[in-house]
Homo-oligomer: A and B are copies of this chain.
């Protein structure tokens, strides 16, 4: 919102972004096609593409021969050979890192199991630093240039500071010096939603529901994550399902998390795998837990649909694994409750990118920034 004036250099910066975005959105294009799409002249596009080539973000991928007459054009596409980004994640029981190139290819992936509940922040950040350093070094020895990084955390983030991560027991932790690169920090659910956007369905409008120990959600509208006023939007887990239901850890009562959080779903079991096994064998207690969770999820999602109007609803995390048992109750609840208000309720689908959603999304966030302003990020 700083509303600075536009000068010649920002005009060019913007046009670089426009051309790069066109290449990214609809695949390889010849310069002529890019000119058509962007409304710029062929001359200008040629000049912009030359800069992008030099920066290593695009490559010429050979002649396009469509059988049409006329001189064939040279297709320009995103290059996966030079620029890459680093995604990081701190979760309850592991640290993760990944390196992704501009073609959305995952080049490296590292996970370190760890019991982060019983360690203090400094210790964990130290281990994260090691992991980040190692991963980046490895990527660089493969010829990649890691441009930036983002970190997913299971908690609320305000202004780059981790405000509160209840399941880690952290409050107001400032994450610094993890790596010698610009580092963005964001909530696990928001980044998982970006993961779905970049590495999943490629749909640009959806509500990603992240079932981890807590329940979060990331809303993507028009390809952008909606964060609310203070970056705290998407706390689906604490939407009220039963106004005077059981007390929730958050201080409220009858929150979704009480009915559909991991603890509620697992009951005495100690892993999701165990729950799935019970479900597959038809265990009535397990089935009932899923039924109850699905019902609660249907109620909470109804409120969410009314409030934020998502294009579709994507279930991720443990909900993805439990999808076969959840889909029925959730869809029924949505269908029945949304009734008259809209033509059809938003489609309910399962996320395609399992447990890695958040780390991948973190890397995706940085890719998104490169595409949004290549000149700034790459120093063109």
Contacts and interface: CB of A to CB of B under 8 A. Distances in A.
A309 B250 CA distance: 16
B11 A310 contact: no
A339 B237 CA distance: 14
Q: Chain B CB within 10 Å — which of A37, A235, A236 has the most?
A: A235
A303 B309 contact: no
Interface string A1-29: 10111111001001100110110010000
B239 A242 contact: no
A186 to B, nearest CB: 14
B336 A252 contact: yes
Contact of A229 (B15, B237, B311): B311
A323 to B, nearest CB: 22
A232 interface: yes
Contact of A306 (B164, B221, B236, B339): B236
A251 interface: yes
B240 A337 contact: yes
Interface in A21-52: 21-22, 25, 37-40, 44
Contacts of A222: 1, 229
Interface string A145-162: 000000000001000000
Interface string A200-232: 000001000000000001000111001111111
Interface string A268-312: 000000000000000000000000000100011011101111110
A302 B251 CA distance: 12
A249 interface: yes
A250 B311 CA distance: 20
A233 interface: yes
A88 to B, nearest CB: 24
A310 to B, nearest CB: 6
Contacts of A19: 5
A197 to B, nearest CB: 14
A299 B249 CA distance: 17
Contact of A307 (B18, B239, B251, B299): B239
A342 interface: yes
A337 B306 contact: no
A340 interface: yes
- Sort A-B residue pairs by CB-CB distance and give the 5 closest, nearest first: A251-B339, A228-B309, A5-B40, A252-B337, A235-B306
